[in-house]
Structures are given as structure tokens and as C-alpha cells.
């Protein structure tokens, strides 16, 4: 369990992105409109498309710890072009591209590391609980950083913006140092048997694609996860424009994000309770249908107090998803190529994001209310079209036991 707690601690420091409440305002002040901000996000997604599978294979072949460490190192490196960019769109784009590569080193490997650590000690049935704690601690970091960042940059001027960026770099360096102390347990295919011997990269990929092709349950879960995505990244960037249109005070930009992240701690940690309280069928409906309703309401209501409430609710409820989807996917994947399969699923999700983020970036930049409403409708359709029920989450072994 020591490795898991170290991993959780490293995530706390990685989540200390102090500039979160002012990132969009920073770009707007630099003369970069919201549509171009989403275009920058496209460079991030393109990098993820190119590197998702190779880094997933890297994690399976050389170790999830080293994949995560490489990703954290690249997060730090990505600040170099950012700090040099000034008004240069292409340097910001380079920074986003490097960030995208960094994310792919995390993608798959973070879930695989935790699941296999739990599996190694016979506690894989507690994945929702511990991954919820992992996500929850991330939200604690985001919340504290948002509160402090909002306070330090309450004037919304450039010197305070750059101070927040520098503080974020220091936090990422601390995260990397913690990751390097992790001693990864041997990965196994069945419980505590001997670790798999290294295999050729294409074997990981071939087996992963075969699993996705043949396992209809895993397909269904992956499709719902992708097409019901609540577009948290658009909310992170877009809520600042929403608050401006709703005439929300500057003091609330950081406070609202801090409160939302604080509530998200509980939604993440207690996500594993949803199945117990409501069952799989109702739980999946709740976590996929509430976000699109909130997006639609945000497109209709621009009262300052209600805007704050809707933003906090949308941000908070979104965080029920990750621990639950993570658990349901991992139930259908074996240990030896877990990171590769998860990265392959993430690859398909990134293709969808590459199409939708710029599209909604344009719509929101053109008409924020219309963009939010259409975004909610798209999520709602995906949630209903690929609805997941109890039978989709159960493996053959679980069905036999029940």
C-alpha cells in the first residue's frame, strides 16, 4: 500500500495548478480568443493521438512508474516555450503539444499501476475506493491551488498571472521527486504469480486491439465513457467567460473553482458508494445524465449567484465518473497489457475530443449560450445511446459467482 499512498501524494502536488482560475483571462489578455484557445487544446490532443499507443506500450514494457515519471518531467519541460511565448501562438502550441505527450505517459499507466498494485495484494475489488481517493486528492490540490491562485491574482494583471505559473512549476518538481521513490511491484497476469516477461511492443498492441474487438462489454463501457464525456476541459476554460457574462465578481473566479474542487473530493472518494446505494443501472444514468442538464441550464441562466451554483454543481458531479469507469474497464482487462489497452481506448476518446473541442470552442466564442446548450444536447444523446447496465460491468467470473 505504500506505493499507492506515494502515488496519491505525487498527484496532489501535480494538481497544484495555481493558474487555473485565470488561464482563459491570461490568453484573452494576450489577444488570443476562446476559439484559438481550443485550437491550442487541439495541439495537445494531436500529440495524444500520436503518442497514446507508444507510451502505453512503454508503460507495459518498462514499468508504469517510469512512464509516469517521464510524463511529469515533460510537464515541467512544457513550461519552457510557454514562458518564452509572450504573444507567440506557435510557442504556446508547442507547449501544448509537449503537455499532450506528457499526458499520454500518464494515460493508462496511472490506472494500471494502481489496479495492479491492488491486485498484487489481493485488493483489486477496492479499485473504485482507492482510485476515488486518488482523484479526490487531486481535487484537494486543485481546490487549494484555485483558492490561493484566485487570491494572488485578484487584480487580474500579468505579474500575478506569471507568479502563479512559476508556483505551478515548483509543485510539479516536487511531484516528480515523490514518484521516483516508488518501488513498483512486479506486474502479474493472474494474482500473485510471477511477473510477465517483457514482450515485443506489437504483441501488446495486437492483443489489446483483439480484446477491444471481441469484448462487447468493454466496447460498450468505452463507448459510453467517450460519447458521454462532460467536456471538463471546456468547463475549465469556459467558466471564466461564463462568469464574465453573468457579471460574477473577480473574487469568485478562484473561490468557485476551490469550492467545486472541494466538493469534488467527496464525489470522487464516495463514487464507489453509488453502486451500493443505487445499483449499476441507476448510478450510470445519474453520472451521465446530470452533467448535460447542467450544461443546458448554464446556457439559459446568467444570474451571478445561480451561475456560480451551476458551475460548481457541473464541476463537482463530473467527478463521480472517473473512479467508476476506471473500475468497470479494468475488470475486463488483464494485467500484462493493461496500460496498452487503456491507452488504446483513450486514443479513440482523443479522436472524438479533437473534433469536438474546436467545434464547441468556435460555437462558444460565437455565442456562449448556444454553445453550452448544444454541448449539453450532444452529451445527452451519447449518454442515452450507449447506456451501460449491470450485465456490461460483470466478467464471466463475477457472473459465475453471483
Per-residue pLDDT reduced to its tens digit, 77-112: 999 988 888 888 899 999 999 999 998 898 778 877
Give the residue from 255, 235, 240, 169 showing the smallest Cα distance to 24.
240
pLDDT interval class at 133 (50, 70, 90): confident
pLDDT over 70 at 348, yes or no = yes
- End-to-end, the C-alpha distance of the chain in Å comes to 29
Least confident of 24-28, 94-98, 289-293: 24-28
Determine the average pLDDT of the residues in 347-355.
82
CB 78 within 8 A of CB 25: no
Q: How far is CA 251 from the centre of its chain?
A: 26
Q: CB atoms < 10 A from the CB of 396, how many?
A: 9
Does the pTM of the predicted model rise above 0.85?
no
Helix count and strand count (H, E) for the chain = 20, 0
Can you give the pLDDT at residue 93? Answer: 92
Q: Identify the residue with better confidence: 270 or 241.
A: 241
Name the DSSP letter for residue 20.
Answer: G
**How would you class 304 by CB atoms within 10 Å of its CB: exposed for 0-12, middle for 13-18, buried for 19 or more?**
middle
- How far, in Å, CA of 239 to CA of 294, rounded? 13
Can you give the pLDDT at residue 202? Answer: 56
Determine the average pLDDT of the residues in 49-56.
81
CB 30 within 8 A of CB 158: no
Name the DSSP letter for residue 184.
Answer: P
Grid coordinates belonging to 102: 506528457
pLDDT over 50 at 188, yes or no = no
The per-residue DSSP string of 209-247 comes to HHHHHH-HHHHHHHHHHHHT---HHHHHHHHHHHHHHTT
Q: Dihedral sign, CA of 258, 261, 263, 265?
A: negative
Indicate the angle between helix axes 271-300 and 127-152, nearest 10 degrees. Answer: 40
Can you give the pLDDT at residue 374? Answer: 95
Determine the average pLDDT of the residues in 378-389.
90
Which domains does the chain show, CATH number per domain? 2-186+198-395 (1.20.1250.20)
Reduced to 3 states, what is the DSSP secondary structure of residue 374? Answer: helix
Grid coordinates belonging to 201: 511492443
Least confident of 100-109, 138-147, 163-172, 343-352: 343-352
pLDDT over 60 at 191, yes or no = no
pLDDT over 90 at 316, yes or no = no
Q: How far is CA 293 from CA 34, 236, 239, 259, 297, in A?
A: 23, 17, 16, 20, 6
pLDDT over 90 at 174, yes or no = yes
Grid coordinates belonging to 283: 448510478
Can you give the pLDDT at residue 194? Answer: 38
- Mean pLDDT computed over every residue of the chain: 82
Give the residue from 72, 254, 74 showing the smallest Cα distance to 171.
72
Least confident of 111-115, 165-169, 201-205: 201-205
Least confident of 26-30, 82-86, 103-107, 398-402: 398-402
- How far, in Å, CA of 289 to CA of 294, rounded? 9
pLDDT over 60 at 11, yes or no = yes
Grid coordinates belonging to 271: 463514487
pLDDT interval class at 339 (50, 70, 90): low
**How would you class 353 by CB atoms within 10 Å of its CB: exposed for 0-12, middle for 13-18, buried for 19 or more?**
buried
Amino acid at each position: 500500500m505504500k506505493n499507492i499512498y506515494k502515488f496519491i501524494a505525487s498527484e496532489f502536488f501535480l494538481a497544484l495548478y495555481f493558474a487555473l482560475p485565470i488561464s482563459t483571462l491570461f490568453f484573452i489578455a494576450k489577444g488570443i480568443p476562446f476559439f484559438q484557445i481550443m485550437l491550442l487544446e487541439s495541439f495537445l490532443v494531436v500529440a495524444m493521438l500520436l503518442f497514446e499507443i507508444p507510451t502505453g506500450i512503454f508503460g507495459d514494457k518498462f514499468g508504469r512508474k517510469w512512464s509516469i515519471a517521464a510524463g511529469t518531467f515533460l510537464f515541467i519541460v512544457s513550461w519552457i516555450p510557454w514562458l518564452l511565448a509572450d504573444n507567440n501562438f506557435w510557442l504556446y502550441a508547442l507547449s501544448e503539444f509537449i503537455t499532450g505527450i506528457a499526458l499520454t505517459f500518464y494515460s493508462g499507466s496511472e490506472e494500471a499501476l494502481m489496479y495492479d498494485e491492488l491486485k498484487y495484494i489481493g485488493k483489486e475489488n477496492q479499485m473504485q475506493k482507492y482510485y476515488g481517493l486518488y482523484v479526490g486528492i487531486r481535487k484537494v490540490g486543485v481546490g487549494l491551488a484555485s483558492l490561493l491562485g484566485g487570491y494572488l491574482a485578484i487584480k487580474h494583471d500579468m505579474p500575478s498571472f506569471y507568479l502563479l505559473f512559476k508556483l505551478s512549476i515548483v509543485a510539479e518538481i516536487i511531484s516528480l521527486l515523490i514518484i521516483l521513490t516508488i518501488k513498483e511491484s512486479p506486474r502479474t497476469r493472474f494474482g500473485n504469480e510471477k511477473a510477465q516477461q517483457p514482450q515485443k511492443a506489437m504483441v501488446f498492441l495486437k492483443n489489446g486491439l483483439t480484446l477491444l474487438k471481441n469484448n462487447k462489454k468493454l466496447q460498450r463501457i468505452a463507448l459510453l465513457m467517450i460519447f458521454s464525456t462532460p467536456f471538463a476541459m471546456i468547463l475549465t476554460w469556459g467558466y471564466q467567460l461564463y462568469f464574465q457574462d453573468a457579471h460574477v465578481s473577480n473574487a469568485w473566479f478562484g473561490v468557485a473553482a476551490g469550492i467545486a474542487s472541494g466538493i469534488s473530493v467527496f464525489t470522487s472518494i464516495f463514487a464507489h458508494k453509488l453502486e451500493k446505494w443505487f445499483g449499476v443501472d441507476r448510478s450510470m444514468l445519474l453520472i451521465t445524465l446530470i452533467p448535460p442538464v447542467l450544461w443546458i441550464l448554464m446556457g439559459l441562466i446568467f444570474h451571478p449567484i445561480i451561475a456560480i451554483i451551476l458551475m460548481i454543481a457541473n464541476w463537482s458531479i463530473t467527478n463521480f465518473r472517473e473512479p467508476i469507469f476506471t473500475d468497470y474497464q479494468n475488470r475486463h482487462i488483464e494485467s500484462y497489457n493493461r496500460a496498452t489497452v487503456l491507452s488504446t481506448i483513450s486514443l479513440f476518446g482523443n479522436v472524438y475530443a479533437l473534433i469536438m473541442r474546436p467545434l464547441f470552442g468556435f460555437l462558444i466564442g460565437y455565442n456562449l449560450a448556444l454553445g453550452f446548450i448544444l454541448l449539453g444536447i450532444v452529451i445527452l444523446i451519447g449518454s442515452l445511446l450507449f447506456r451501460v447496465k449491470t450485465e456490461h460491468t460483470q466478467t464471466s467470473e463475477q457472473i459465475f459467482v453471483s
